[in-house]
Structure 1
Amino acid sequence: MSALTPAGGANPHKASARQTELIDGEIARSLLDQLLDDSRLYRNGSDYHALLDFVVRLRNFAPFNAMLLQIQKPGLSHAASAPDWRDRFDRHIKDGARPLLILRPFGPVALVYDVLDTDGAALPSGIAAFTAEGDMTPGVLDACSRKLVGKGIEWSCVDAGDNLAGSIQLLVRSTNPEVPSRYRMRVNRNHDVNVQFATLTHELGHLFLGHLGADKYLNIPNRPRLELRQRELEAESVAYIVCGRNSVENNSKTYLADYVTEGTTAGNLDLYQVMRATGQVETLLGLAARTRFERPTKPNAAAH
């Protein structure tokens, strides 16, 4: 029996998507922890704000990958894969250009390039092809609310005063990874649609950050024992990124300023969890980034 074949003859190539996701998560976590420890980045409030703004700006990348790019090349304005530069912008990669590494979904790594390492046609104003859809509309918000139902999250509009934006509550916890738990999302119906979207992303941030406990069905870690300050900073960071990447204005800057000051270190923040949760919220709401990558090339069997 091959050393790569598990007992019982199971095919190693038929690992479940959940197992693959867990493995990818462990690799990503290990990579990020080492990068942050080696670089000593994001130790104060101003650096943390700059990181969030960078992730907002690179809307064509998943939040975690945008952070990896910021660590590798601070000051980067725009990046894309070689196919995107060629087919969407009529630009080619310069000879000798240094690629940047990001994690490929369900694979090892992918290569992308800084705009400064490309030549070709002039770029469109604001790199419009990279941006998400415009302002939030009732129709888009309604579509988001319907996506929640399939994941066991009940949507409820409540008649409340201006100081109550919304909340999320665990109703029934499931320990079966194939059965969703049940939650209730409350959103103030008297608020503007943009405020409602910001509330939605903030409360989903709490959920996917594990502030309500573990959820095997949604691949959520168990992280309930955090101070209020950390929980609110993490959840509002998620809302800040998702809203910013979808042209939704909210009061996150003021809100975050209440929790992060110039003297506040980011040592007690879990940046991996923030970026992971942000990506999960975007995926759940159908707002995930779309960047095309080159297909991995297989080794030439004849060469062996």
Structure 2
Amino acid sequence: MDLLEYETARALLDQLLADSRLYRTGKDYRALLDFVIRLRNFAPFNAMLLQVQKPGLMYAASRLDWLERFNRTVKDGARPLLILWPFGPVALVYDVADTLGDPLPDGVSAFAAHGAVDSATLAGYASKMAKKHIVWNEVDAGDGKAGSIKVALRATKPELPTRYQMSVNRNHGPNVQFATVAHELGHLFLGHLGKDKYLNIPERPPLQHSQRELEAESLSYIVCARNGVLSQSASYLSMHVKSDTTVDQIDLYQVMRAAGQVEALLGLTAHTKYERPQKAVR
């Protein structure tokens, strides 16, 4: 995403949130996270856009997905919902209530989940991270220390990669390690370690420790739950998301954008298919 796309997406979300006045409390924020988790066939940011446009939406897909995957057609006059598309400005998707055809299969909302991870899966993630100059080291630590991430060597030029070092407790099981990796990658892609042009990480103003932890754990909660991994993020968030928590304390845009970046890095991409926009006839 280049600077123009970033600013456009940012402005779109800010306007939608301002107009709808959604997610003003901690309870609403948790409900949003749970919705993004349930709609696994969309990238986190797009799932959030759908919830802002149509609160209470149960399931959505593109016209192509409805036909090819579910043998359903979109009703005439159905109101489309807008999401951002990597190959163009926007794509159109439709609520299940605006389609006709075969019944949805049981558990359709979970069809993109990957299930629990094992050591081999984690090794694959470590390899993917290494390609982006993020080295994963397992360390012998007590149960209360899950992991950390730091800058190992800052790039001297914007076009060069900065090298990072992540530490993960080797005494924890694979699922806990996965949650740790998601949390620490969250700190990185949320800009808590600074701007990184090579990884497309924006510069952000300094945050309090509690804000950084809440953002990173929100991201970990999203990534873990969307991919079938049980973690302690839910109880952790319950301690941090209070009744007076508002979106003014949480950068929703950055959390959803960074969650998508982490999923892309680890190969946990969304599964919805989209039709390419038709060229205008002159």
Same fold by TM (over 0.5)?
yes
Query: What amino acid is the match of 2:96?
Result: V
1:48 to 5, 17, 29: 29
* Contact residue 24 and residue 106 of structure 1 kept, 8 A: no
Deviations 1:116-144 (A, max 9, x none): 11111111101167322111121211111
Please state whether the residue corresponding to 1:211 is helix, strand or coil.
Answer: coil
Cα distance in 2 between the residues matched to 1:128 and 1:33? 27
1:157 maps to which residue?
138
Cα distance in 1 between the residues matched to 2:108 and 2:75? 19
Change (3 A) 1:285 1:182: same
Runs of 4+ in 1 over 4 A off after TM superposition: none
Cα distance in 2 between the residues matched to 1:34 and 1:266? 13
Ranges in structure 2 where 5+ consecutive residues have no aligned partner = none
* Contact residue 21 and residue 106 of structure 1 kept, 8 A: no
2:249 to 262, 268, 287: 268
What percentage of residue pairs aligned between the two structures are identical? 64
**Would you say how many aligned residue pairs link Structure 1 and Structure 2?**
282
Ranges in structure 1 where 5+ consecutive residues have no aligned partner = 1-19
Cα distance in 1 between the residues matched to 2:148 and 2:256? 21
1:11 maps to which residue?
none
**In the TM superposition, what are the counterparts of 1:1-304 in structure 2 within 5 Å?**
21-127=2-108, 130-223=111-204, 225-301=206-282
Query: Per chain length, whose mean CA-contact separation is higher, i.e. which structure has more relative contact order (CA < 8 Å, sep 6+)?
Result: 2
* Contact residue 147 and residue 168 of structure 2 kept, 8 A: yes
Please state whether the residue corresponding to 1:119 is helix, strand or coil.
Answer: strand
* Contact residue 157 and residue 186 of structure 1 kept, 8 A: yes
What is the root-mean-square deviation in Å for CA atoms of aligned residues? 1.2
Query: What amino acid is the match of 2:262?
Result: V
TM-score normalised according to structure 1 size = 0.90
TM-score normalised according to structure 2 size = 0.97
Query: What amino acid is the match of 2:229?
Result: V
* Contact residue 40 and residue 109 of structure 2 kept, 8 A: no
* Contact residue 101 and residue 109 of structure 1 kept, 8 A: yes
Query: 1:21 offset after TM fit, Å?
Result: 2.6
Query: 1:175 offset after TM fit, Å?
Result: 4.1
